[in-house]
Amino acid sequence: MIARIRQGLIFIFGRYKEEWNNEIKGVLTLEEYEIFKNMSRYDRIHSFRLYRLVKDDELLGEKRLYQKLALLHDCGKYNASLYRRVKKVLIGEKSLENHSEISYEKLKNIDIELAKLAREHHSSSKDIYLKRFQKLDDE
């Protein structure tokens, strides 16, 4: 519940810091960065925060693939309003439900392994790395 309230506050008041782009450009390819920069302000803030959590994580920290996943996992979302995002959490929202598949489609010709992880980032998994990523994403 607290995480959801924090998400709402970030959506309303969060500021994306342009200096973050320097660090992000060191992780993503130019093609991947183009996808990232076209994400909504909120999704870029959320993704950068998750990237930092992944980077500092004992299990995932050295895995460049998971750093990229943190930055691009939600690239299939459009610039959804706070109302639509709250609706998705409470009762479901069709327009956001398939964002993982859209992320896969955007990434599959760039990095198929990254694309597959983006598609599966909300799916139940036995993979310890993906499970850890999901836990960090939910924080």
Distance, in Å, from the CA atom of 8 to the CA atom of 92, rounded to the nearest integer, reads 17
Distance, in Å, from the CA atom of 62 to the CA atom of 8, rounded to the nearest integer, reads 30
pLDDT of residue 134: 96
Tell me the pLDDT tens digit for each residue of 63-104: 999 999 999 999 988 666 554 555 555 555 555 678 889 999
Q: How confident is the model at residue 15 (pLDDT cuts 50, 70, 90)?
A: confident
- Based on the number of CB atoms within 10 Å of its own CB, is 110 exposed (0-12), middle (13-18) or buried (19 or more)? middle
pLDDT of residue 1: 59
Q: What percent of the chain has pLDDT over 70?
A: 76
Question: What is the value of pTM for the model shown?
Answer: 0.85
Report whether pLDDT(12) > 80. Answer: no
- Of 138, 103, 137, the C-alpha closest to 119 is 103
pLDDT of residue 83: 46
Residue carrying the six token digits 């990232």: 36
Report the C-alpha dihedral over residues 90, 49, 76, 65, rounded to 10 degrees: -130
The answer to whether the CB of 50 falls within 8 A of the CB of 36 is: no
Tell me the pLDDT tens digit for each residue of 30-48: 999 999 999 999 899 999 9
